[in-house]
Amino acid sequence: MNSQVTGPRVIVALDFPRGAEALALVERLNPAACRLKIGKEMFTREGPALVERLIGKGFDVFLDLKYHDIPNTVAAACAVAADLGVWMVNVHASGGRKMMEAARERLAGFAQRPLLIAVTVLTSMAAEDLAELGLGVSPEAQVLRLAALTESAGLDGVVCSPREAAAIRAQCGPGFRLVTPGVRPASASLDDQKRVMTPADAIAAGSDYLVVGRPITAAADPLASLTAINADVAQALASLSD
């Protein structure tokens, strides 16, 4: 188990078209029980003001903008995210070592820097999509390759499918943070997710943080759903430390 990880393990994905809906949900949640994720749609609509507002309410915010550009541009964007006070920010590992190192070095100057995480291969991509990009490897092999590059560039971890978590954990060691979407409580609808794991299984596979959207955001009682997921997570963590 990753002993550097403290606090809530669930990151609620605020996938709403408008900030008002996100804020209405957030009123029903609690920063001691979850963190929050803002993605491209919400950020493009509401901008940094919403991020600052959520941080002002005491929540840790994962700014999920998946930067991918030349090293100087990505490093500068990460520094602005750090100025905003976000808890976690991410880049595409396929931007390469120089880009990731530039981001890491720029963030090292902050007293309280965000965690810097990389996306390896988008889970929407299959072998034939990689082949079209000139990459004659399986998605699994490319994920492991980019996770190794991410670790060697000094980043804190990767976003990955819970199905990839055990292999990355074995390769990258206990301090490397694994952030996994595609998590569904056994009783929940799959929505459009195809390959899912329960919260407890994702933790057992080595995940540190679970990104959960609709099972919480679309629940009749979001706090009850979050509380149930947190109970599963706590049980899985307890059995890992036995």
The catalytic residues are: 66
What letter represents residue 184's amino acid? R
Residue 12 C-beta: closest distance to ligand C5P, Å: 9
- Residue least distant from ligand C5P (Cβ): 213
Residue 45 C-beta: closest distance to ligand C5P, Å: 15
Select 64 or 151, whichever has its Cβ closest to ligand C5P.
Answer: 64
Select 13 or 63, whichever has its Cβ closest to ligand C5P.
Answer: 13
Residue 217 C-beta: closest distance to ligand C5P, Å: 7
Distance CA 224, CA 158 (A): 29
What letter represents residue 152's amino acid? S
Select 192 or 242, whichever has its Cβ closest to ligand C5P.
Answer: 192
C-alpha angle 207-35-147 in degrees, rounded to nearest 5: 35
Select 83 or 191, whichever has its Cβ closest to ligand C5P.
Answer: 191
Distance CA 94, CA 71 (A): 12
Residue 218 C-beta: closest distance to ligand C5P, Å: 8
**CA dist 210 to 16, 37, 125, 150, 198, Å?**
19, 11, 21, 20, 10
Residue pointed to by tokens 């990753």:
2
Residues that bind ligand C5P (CB under 6 A): 13, 15, 39, 123, 181-182, 191, 193, 211-214
Q: Which helix (H) or strand (E) holds 49?
A: helix 40-56
